[in-house]
Amino acid sequence: MAVLVQPAFLPLLPLSVDHSAGHYRARVLHVRISSFSTRDLDAARQFLNHNLQLTYSAGFLLQFITSRDSKLLIARDSDSGVIIGVVAGKLARSIADHRICHGHVMVLAVGEQYRRSGIGRILLQKLETTMRTSVTSGIKTSFLQVAHTNYGAIKFYEHQGYIIERRDKGYYQGKADALVMRKQSTPATR
Ligand SMILES: CC(C)(COP(=O)(O)OP(=O)(O)OC[C@H]1O[C@@H](n2cnc3c(N)ncnc32)[C@H](O)[C@@H]1OP(=O)(O)O)[C@@H](O)C(=O)NCCC(=O)NCCS
């Protein structure tokens, strides 16, 4: 599905200079969101490794194709086809009651030059909707881990309704702590 990001969401996108007219023209970005497939593997890996400064294995990414409970969505600039954002998550069942599902947001990144344009919000909401509608009873909450020093991402998630639940010490290879953030699904959207 093609999503048109309205100009109102694009305050920080580069302006293209129109030399002949001598003034600036804001660029409108069309974003195409699609499900991950094997042909996206190399490009998605490169994008994530660059934007998250982590090394994702092919096996990690392939789970989002092979597992029914997992989903990875890719946002592209419709004009150039360049990947500008990736989000991935999976359904996690309660240990106490296997029928209750929670959505686990595992990966989210937007290309540096496209940030603060509403793309992260669109991707996260798309993933939440996909996870919610894939379970007949809906999901009770969505949760994620974020490095406690990643202030921009924490602000972003708070803006999307996530609340800090706890701090997991040494979650990232024993070096950095993670904040676990959670968002309740409203009864109407379960
Ligand atoms: C976190 C991230 C995905 C946000 O994506 P984005 O497309 O820039 O976010 P949006 O444009 O949809 O932001 C929506 C709102 O969230 C808040 N927000 C987003 N980034 C923010 C930042 N760096 N600082 C403060 N608030 C921020 C703002 O309220 C923003 O609305 P506004 O721009 O109208 O003020 C992006 O910054 C990113 O890829 N960061 C690097 C990778 C990363 O840290 N991922 C999370 C790992 S858990």
Q: How does pLDDT run across 122-159, given as a tens digit for each residue?
A: 999 999 999 988 887 788 899 999 999 999 999 999 99
Q: Is 74 exposed, middle or buried (0-12, 13-18, 19+ CB in 10 A)?
A: buried
User: CB of 153 closer than 6 A to ligand 1?
Assistant: yes
52 lines ligand 1 (CB under 6 A): yes
Pocket test for ligand 1, best of 13, 50, 115 (most atoms within 8 A of CB): 115
Best CA proximity match to 182, nearest among 130, 105, 127, 118: 105
> Which residue ranges form the domains of the chain, and what is each CATH number?
2-139 (3.40.630.30)
pTM of the complete model: 0.86
Residue having the nearest C-alpha atom to atom 27 of ligand 1 = 156
8 A C-beta contact, residue 40 and residue 62: no
88 has pLDDT over 90: yes
